[in-house]
Amino acid sequence: MTIIVFVIIYCNASNLPVGLGGGSGIGRAVCSRLAREGASVAVADLHEAGAQGTLRGLPAGDHQAWTLDVGSAGSVAALMAHIQTHFSRPPNVCVNCAGITMDEFLLRQKEEAFDAVLRVNLKGTFLVTQAVARALVESGGSGGGSIINMGSIVGKVGNLGQVNYAASKAGVEALSKTAAKELARYGIRCNTVLPGFIRSPMTDTVPQKVLDKFAAMVPLGRLGDPEDVADVCAFLASEESRYITGASIEVTGGLFI
């Protein structure tokens, strides 16, 4: 099967990259997990170096890497054309992990930062979900497909300093549930994964004592690893989840239960 994986880009409040999901984090873990399952993986990232870094770490197979701006309909359409040309068919599984953060408290949040986060996290999810679903429907295949969108537990419970991020991830969950209702007739499933505190390039910059406080909040007693999220994505990509659509699966170690 062909998998598109949109890897995460982490940004700080000044919109400067502090770590690329193409080189590590959830996106890379998802690529690796699905490639080990025998999937052909199409890796997409805004930064070519990130996508190529993930590509080099995958086991042997027909894998490709492309650059992509998920907030641009033209960029998404061009990528879908590249994928269909290379693989001779649309992807039957899409794991959409693209996301940024530009954190600030509500009273100081800039309109530009709010718009930027929603452009990537929510509009990007819409454009990718729409493009993949259209390609699957137009192909006339009977095998359906699985679209997996990356939300966040923050979209359900909120978080200090993340009014834009929380709003975008709440939107991702609602979008996915609606898409699941509309696409079920075509055999296309759409689900959302809601990670909690997950180790990533961003957490590498956080003091250990702060990470220890986060871990203490989690009933299972540790931060999550990217592989914990990747395992759930692999399940949702497989036939083992064939009767699951419109679901939101928390990967939080029990946080907020």
Name the active-site residue from 10, 165, 186, 243.
165
- Cβ count within 10 A of residue 254: 12
Q: Is 17 exposed, middle or buried (0-12, 13-18, 19+ CB in 10 A)?
A: middle
Going by C-beta distance under 8 Å and a sequence separation of 6 or more, which residues neighbour residue 130? Answer: none
Q: What angle do CA 37, 38, 39 make, to 5 degrees?
A: 100
CA 250 to chain centre: 14
Q: What angle do CA 50, 212, 30 make, to 5 degrees?
A: 30
Q: Is 89 exposed, middle or buried (0-12, 13-18, 19+ CB in 10 A)?
A: middle
Bridge-based pairing of strands 64-67 and 40-45 is: parallel
- Reference 94, options 34, 154, 143; nearest CA is 34
Contact 131, 77 (CB under 8 A): yes
Catalytic-residue membership of 165:
yes
- Reference 246, options 238, 236, 256; nearest CA is 236
Catalytic residues: 165
